């Protein structure tokens, strides 16, 4: 039997509610499909702070590091707004990203046909959309030095942020993009601003050379990032995988996400480098949304973002492509049937609870066997 280790970090607020719906899928896949998931569970965020004064304990960090994949719910809430900066709930997530060296952030934009009507774009522009934005997460202008505000002494100040990228950082994010493109439609578009930024020139050169040396079977195109933003809104279906730096990726992934709907629907993944021995990448999967304290504990949370994050985990950490496709199809079918949590329901339409949505997706997943 396969041996797959999963470390669950439900976190705070609606995190645990959403994670419960993934647990049902894991149990079913173990019992009926012989998936061989071995799960362990830890604490992260406010609940971890309450338990032991840190946003994640050393013991849980070790388990997260050892696991094939981490499933993360959400952290934070008003209860912890005034805790010290370095132990605030978000510190748990930042620590995981840093220690696991999760340099590649994957944000899919999938438009389920049943929700195409609720997009701000025309339904035909977004219906059936399935693209993946890969954002470099640990380098670039958010981290480059110098980073400071200088008092010029003449009543003026000067703010400096520095965009820095080294060859290896560009190669490893390009490697993720090409690898993942092979599991999809074999097409990558790299975005930068080589017309005005030296980092864009290097980005373009390195991606081009890396492609030629290792991945020439994948179709590669280049686009200036501002033009890319226009094209994402004009005709997003022209893309499959987009790879870009930290800053452009932050913006372009938010634009792409909103082509398709509610925060309660959006999954994400963060990947690290392949292990020298096993070739496996460290990985963390999480919904884009936060802990939603306004609806926590009321059974109103939409578990789809968390469940779709698990589908990404099946696809990218365990190469369970058929099961990932089947789970995404189950979500689409449930939406086709008109089953809605409050966040994606039309005004006055009937809604289901978190648990009912999870049950419906599990039932559909079983039916698709």
Which active-site residues does the annotation give? Answer: 142, 193, 226, 250, 254
CB of 268 to Mg ion, least distance (A): 11
Which residue number, 211 or 300, has a Cβ lying nearer to ligand NAI?
300
77 binds, among ligand NAI, Mg ion, none (CB under 5 to 8 A by kind): ligand NAI
> Of 113 and 293, which has the nearer Cβ to ligand NAI?
293
**Site pattern 39..78 for ligand NAI (x: CB under 6 A):** -----------------------------------xxxx-
The 10 Å CB-count burial string (b at 16+, else e) for 274-289 is eeeeeeebbbbbbbbb
Alpha helices in 151-244 (DSSP H): 167-182, 198-214, 225-234
Residue 290 marked in a binding site: yes
**Cβ atoms 324, 368 nearer than 8 A:** no
Per-position b or e across 222-233, b if 16+ CB within 10 A of its CB: bbbbeebbebbe
Span interacting with ligand NAI, options 25-33, 114-122, 247-255, 294-302, rule CB under 6 A: 294-302
What is the footprint of ligand NAI within residues 214-243 (CB under 6 A)?
none
The answer to whether 135 is a known ligand-binding residue is: yes
Residue closer to Mg ion by CB (options 179, 250) is 250
Which does residue 249 touch among Mg ion, ligand NAI, none (CB within 5 to 8 A, set by kind)?
none
Q: Is 205 annotated as a binding residue?
A: no
Residue 83 marked as a ligand binder: yes
Is residue 301 near ligand NAI by the rule CB under 6 A?
yes
| Residue 185: both structure tokens together | 């439609």
Q: Looking at beta carbons only, is 76 or 358 nearer to ligand NAI?
A: 76
| From 30-38, 205-213, 226-234, 293-301, span contacting ligand NAI (CB under 6 A) | 293-301
The residues, ordered by sequence, that sit 6+ positions from 265 with a Cβ below 8 Å of its Cβ are: 112, 115, 302, 304, 305, 308, 344
Coil, strand or helix at 285: strand
Which residue from 67, 129, 242, 305 is in contact with ligand NAI, where contact means CB under 6 A? 305
Is 161 marked as a binding-site residue? no
Candidates 204, 291, 317, 333; binder of ligand NAI (CB under 6 A) is 291
> Tokens 């080294």 correspond to what residue?
166
Q: Which residues partner with 219 through β-bridges?
A: 187
Q: Is there a contact between 75 and 88 (Cβ–Cβ < 8 Å)? A: no
Task: Convert residues 245-284 into a mask of x (bound to Mg ion by CB under 5 A) and - (unbound).
Answer: -----x---x------------------------------
- Site for Mg ion contains 286 (CB under 5 A): no
323 binds Mg ion (CB under 5 A): no
C-alpha span between 240 and 130 (Å, rounded): 7
Q: What is the DSSP string of 80-132?
A: GTTS-GGGSHHHHHHHHHHHTT--EEEEEEE--GGGGGGSSS-HHHHTT-EEE
343 interacts with ligand NAI by CB under 6 A: yes
Residues 251-280 that bind ligand NAI (CB under 6 A): 263-264
Q: Which of 54, 77, 69 is nearest to 22 (CA)?
A: 69
Q: How far is the CB of 301 from ligand NAI (least distance, A)?
A: 4
**Is 89 a known ligand-binding residue?**
yes
- Residue 283 assigned ligand-binding role: no
- Beta carbons within 10 angstroms of residue 337's beta carbon: 11
Q: Indicate the DSSP class of residue 346.
A: P
Residue whose CB is nearest to ligand NAI in the complex, by number: 290
CB of 351 to ligand NAI, least distance (A): 11
Answer whether 76's CB lies under 8 Å from 48's CB.
no
* 176 CB neighbour count, 10 Å cutoff: 23
Which of Mg ion, ligand NAI, none lies near 250, with the C-beta cut-off 5 to 8 A by kind? Mg ion
Rounded Cα distance between 29 and 34, Å, is: 6
Is 326 annotated to bind ligand?
no
List interacting residues with ligand NAI (CB under 6 A).
14, 74-77, 93, 263-264, 286, 289-295, 301-302, 305, 343
Binding residues for Mg ion, rule: CB under 5 A, are: 250, 254
């Amino acid at each position: 039997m396969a041996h797959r280790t999963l470390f669950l970090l439900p976190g705070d607020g609606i995190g645990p509610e959403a994670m419960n719906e993934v647990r049902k899928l894991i149990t079913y896949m173990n019992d009926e499909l012989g998936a061989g998931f071995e799960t362990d569970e830890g604490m992260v965020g406010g609940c971890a702070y309450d338990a032991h004064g840190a946003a994640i304990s050393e013991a849980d960090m070790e388990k997260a590091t050892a696991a094939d994949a981490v499933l993360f719910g959400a952290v934070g809430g008003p209860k912890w707004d005034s805790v010290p900066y370095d132990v605030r709930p978000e510190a748990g997530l930042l620590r995981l990203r840093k220690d696991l060296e999760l340099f590649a952030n994957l944000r899919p934009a999938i438009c389920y046909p049943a929700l195409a009507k609720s997009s701000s774009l025309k339904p035909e522009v977004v219906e059936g959309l399935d693209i993946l934005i890969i954002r470099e997460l640990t380098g670039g202008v958010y981290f480059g030095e110098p980073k400071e505000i200088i008092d010029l002494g003449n009543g003026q100040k000067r703010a400096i942020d520095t965009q820095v990228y080294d060859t290896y950082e560009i190669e490893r994010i390009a490697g993720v993009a090409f690898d993942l493109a092979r599991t999809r439609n074999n097409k990558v578009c790299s975005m930068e601003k080589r017309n005005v930024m030296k980092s864009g020139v290097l980005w373009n050169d390195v991606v081009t050379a890396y492609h030629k040396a290792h991945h020439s079977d994948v179709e590669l195109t280049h686009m200036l990032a501002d033009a890319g933003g226009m094209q994402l809104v004009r005709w997003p279906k022209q893309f499959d995988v987009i790879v870009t730096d930290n800053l452009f990726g932050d913006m372009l992934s938010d634009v792409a996400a909103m082509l398709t709907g509610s925060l309660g629907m959006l999954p994400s993944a963060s990947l690290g480098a392949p292990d020298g021995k096993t070739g496996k990448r460290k990985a963390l999967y999480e919904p884009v949304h936060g802990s939603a304290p306004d609806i926590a504990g009321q059974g109103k949370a939409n578990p789809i973002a968390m469940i779709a994050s698990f589908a990404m985990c099946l696809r990218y950490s365990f190469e369970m492509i058929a099961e990932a496709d089947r789970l995404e199809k189950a979500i689409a079918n449930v939406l086709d049937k008109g089953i809605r949590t409050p966040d994606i329901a039309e005004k006055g339409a009937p809604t289901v609870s978190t648990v009912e949505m999870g049950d419906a997706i599990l039932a559909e997943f079983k039916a698709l066997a």
